[in-house]
Structure 1
Amino acid sequence: MTQERDNQPSPASARAEIARQKMLSAALDVFGRYGFDGASTRQLTEAAGVNLQAIPYYFGSKEGLYIATAEYLMMRINTHVGDMRARVGAHLLALDAAGKPLGEAEARHFLTEILQTMVTLFVGKESESWARFLIREQMEPTEAFTRIYQGLMRPMIEMSRRLIGAILHEDPASEHVRLRTFTLLGSILVFRVAHAAVLAQMEWDGVGPEQVETVRGLAAELVDAIGASKGSAA
């Protein structure tokens, strides 16, 4: 019983963690809207409902908060994709260890799962602040981009490349497969990046469960279409 109590966080540390999480959540939105230079420390703390001293106390500086926000973003996204990525990655490693090739059918299955997970993740409203932050880092990369790319984007892109290479029976490192990978992933991300245009063209009032399922179905169609016509460029 005593050991269980010792393992529980103290009320003070629990409050500190709550405050830290509030700051990270608010910073993701504020930095996404205004960028690092445009976001003032007052905006950041007011959005989180904390005092100005909270930034140096918890993060050392505004720069420290920005990097921590990037790590927080990766953590949030990984709660959605982490299990799937680990499962697919473990399967690929097992095939490599056994010296077995990745079959086209299972490559299509895994790629469909990746795309449909992306739809659920990025088409819904929760991803608005994530997208703003990520787009800013794409346009003007900082240390935050390096961390997000190495820790999240690169593993997913390279996994998708391997799956597409298996479907097309091409080298995953080839320029063609690399380009096909970005084209395919971009066809899902456009629903977030061009959100307003999508709503206008589709005549949707918003994106709810029905719309998400429709786009998930489209994701499966996109995977089915890869390499479907042998007589034209795959």
Structure 2
Amino acid sequence: MARHKPAAEGGYQRGEETRARLIEAAVAVFGERGYDGASTRDIANVAGVNSPALQYYFDGKEGLYLACVEHLITLLWQKMGDTVDVAEQALADVDISDQALIDVSLGILSSVVTTIQDSPQTNAWRAFLDRHQAGLCPESATTAFDDRFKKRIGDVVRQLIARLAGLEVEDERTVIHSMALFTQGLAFRVQKPKLLEALKWTAIDQKEMELVREVVLTQARFTLEGLVRQRDGHC
């Protein structure tokens, strides 16, 4: 496991700063070149530190990659954690209305769509995550991301779909509906170049992100309301 200790010559504060610089640099380099294509020397150069510092803080490249994953999990929960908390609270209420369950489902999807907005920070971690989710990373990192991020959200979304559609949580249709809902937001991140070309946008700033979110949520609402009508035999 990667170590976490201050640099002897600079004390705790300097050690924390060095560690943070290495993680920031690694996210960018791994995102650009992938895990196999990134060298520890290149990462150290981008961070502006000596190569031995990487070994000192992270026990090598895999330890640094895992630290990047942990850092990005923290950022993602900052963006999405509140909406997942609200959804879990809603699911605990046996008397909650279908409309309220739809609203919390759309809240999660809304937080996903916000990740398409451009900024220097999000552009770097989006590239990292795209490679990571394609499986171009150590298995230990895939396990960490799944256990500490994807599993909780996946469980919540499946429970929401199951309630709205009148299906069992493990029903194949529940799983497919859940993936279809969640990936609506992710699709615009993956297909961003095509979106920019089609709409003649140069970037996705706040205004553009809000337009995409409005359309995605409108479409998703129709889908979720349709599941309720189908459950109740109205269509």
Q: Is TM-score (shorter-chain normalized) higher than 0.5? A: yes
Q: Give the C-alpha shift of residue 139 in structure 1.
A: 2.5
Counterpart of 2:129 in structure 1 is: 134
CA separation of 1:206/1:60 partners in 2, compared to 1, >3 Å: closer, same or farther?
Answer: same
Q: Give the C-alpha shift of residue 144 in structure 1.
A: 0.5
Counterpart of 1:179 in structure 2 is: 176
Indicate if the aligned counterparts of 2:90 and 2:101 stay in contact, CA closer than 8 A. no
Q: What SS does the aligned partner of 2:126 have?
A: helix
Greater Cα offset, 167-176 or 125-134? 125-134
Counterpart of 2:7 in structure 1 is: none
Indicate if the aligned counterparts of 2:27 and 2:124 stay in contact, CA closer than 8 A. yes
Counterpart of 1:215 in structure 2 is: 212
After superposition, give the CA deviation of every residue in 1:174-225 in whole Å (9 maximum; x if it has no partner): 1112111111221111111111101001121211111111122123212311
After superposition, give the CA deviation of every residue in 1:129-187 in whole Å (9 maximum; x if it has no partner): 22322222232252111111111011112211111222222223211121111112211
Counterpart of 1:89 in structure 2 is: 88
The answer as to 2:191 corresponding to 1:197 is: no
Counterpart of 2:45 in structure 1 is: 46
Counterpart of 1:8 in structure 2 is: none
1:20-169 equivalences under 5 Å are 20-92=19-91, 94-95=92-93, 100=94, 102-125=96-119, 126-140=121-135, 142-169=139-166
- In structure 1, the gaps of 5 or more residues are 1-10
Counterpart Cα distance in 1 of 2:218 and 2:58: 45
One-letter amino acid of the counterpart of residue 70, structure 2:
E
The percentage of counterpart residues that share the same residue type is 28
Counterpart of 2:6 in structure 1 is: none
After superposition, give the CA deviation of every residue in 1:58-92 in whole Å (9 maximum; x if it has no partner): 11111111111111111111121223323332443
Indicate if the aligned counterparts of 1:167 and 1:226 stay in contact, CA closer than 8 A. no
Indicate if the aligned counterparts of 2:69 and 2:145 stay in contact, CA closer than 8 A. yes
Q: Give the C-alpha shift of residue 101 in structure 1.
A: 5.0
Task: Decide which of 203, 206, 209 is 1:206's aligned counterpart.
Answer: 203
Counterpart Cα distance in 2 of 1:156 and 1:198: 26
Q: Give the C-alpha shift of residue 228 in structure 1.
A: 4.0
Counterpart Cα distance in 2 of 1:139 and 1:121: 18
One-letter amino acid of the counterpart of residue 125, structure 2:
W
Counterpart Cα distance in 1 of 2:224 and 2:102: 11
- The number of residue pairs the alignment matches comes to 218
Q: What SS does the aligned partner of 1:53 have?
A: helix
CA separation of 1:223/1:102 partners in 2, compared to 1, >3 Å: closer, same or farther?
Answer: farther
